[in-house]
């Protein structure tokens, strides 16, 4: 018996249904605050980013989902914003499954606070150097 790859049997609330995948549509429901995964293409590589939906902008011509994405590495925590709509190229979005690690508000806030402290230290260092320069410039 040959298996038809375009059909799949799924179970919804105890009822088994055969679905023709050629005609089936995937419908995801999202709300502000939902965790999502972003697949972003940079030149020749793909990167998966953790994100959170921050707004739905109901523009008449081009409805847009605004997503904050987070990336942590040895350099710190980076937050970027993506406007996702029908014109968005080289970016895909999907829901985070219940078994995946989700972004926790406190964890993100702690990482961002650490990044703020690091940058504040750099600002303080530059202000000290500037004051030293202004104090000692043209003394001799």
Q: Tell me, yes or no, whether 82 and 136 share the same domain.
A: no
Q: Please check whether residues 39 and 80 belong to one and the same domain.
A: yes
Taken in order 49, 32, 90, 112, the sign of the CA dihedral is: negative
User: Are the C-beta atoms of residues 78 and 68 closer than 8 Å to each other?
Assistant: no
Residues 82 and 55 in one domain: yes
pLDDT at 55 over 60: yes
One domain for residues 31 and 96: yes
d(CA 79, CA 104): 14
Q: DSSP class of residue 100? A: S
pLDDT of residue 1: 47
104 pLDDT band (50/70/90 cuts)? low
Helices (H), the chain: 105-136
List pLDDT tens digits, range 36-52: 888 888 888 888 888 88
Together in a domain, 111 and 76: no
CA 135 to chain centre: 46
Q: Assign 13 a pLDDT band (cuts: 50, 70, 90).
A: low
Query: Domain limits at 126?
Result: 104-140
pTM: predicted TM-score of the whole model, two decimal places: 0.60
Location of structure tokens 């109901």:
58
Residue 101 or residue 58, greater confidence: 58
4 domain-assigned: no
Domain total in the chain: 2
Indicate whether 136 belongs to any domain. yes
């Amino acid at each position: 018996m040959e298996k038809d790859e375009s059909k799949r049997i799924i179970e919804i609330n105890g009822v088994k249904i055969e679905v023709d995948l050629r005609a089936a549509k995937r419908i995801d429901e999202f709300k502000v605050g939902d965790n999502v995964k972003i697949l972003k293409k940079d030149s020749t590589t793909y990167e998966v980013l953790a994100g959170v939906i921050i707004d739905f902008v109901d523009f008449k011509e081009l409805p847009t989902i605004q997503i904050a994405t987070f990336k942590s590495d040895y350099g710190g925590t980076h937050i970027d914003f993506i406007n996702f709509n029908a014109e968005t190229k080289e970016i895909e979005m999907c829901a985070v499954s219940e078994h995946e690690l989700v972004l926790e508000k406190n964890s993100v806030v702690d990482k961002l606070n650490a990044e703020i402290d690091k940058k504040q230290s750099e600002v303080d260092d530059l202000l000290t150097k500037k004051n030293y320069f202004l104090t000692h410039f043209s003394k001799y």
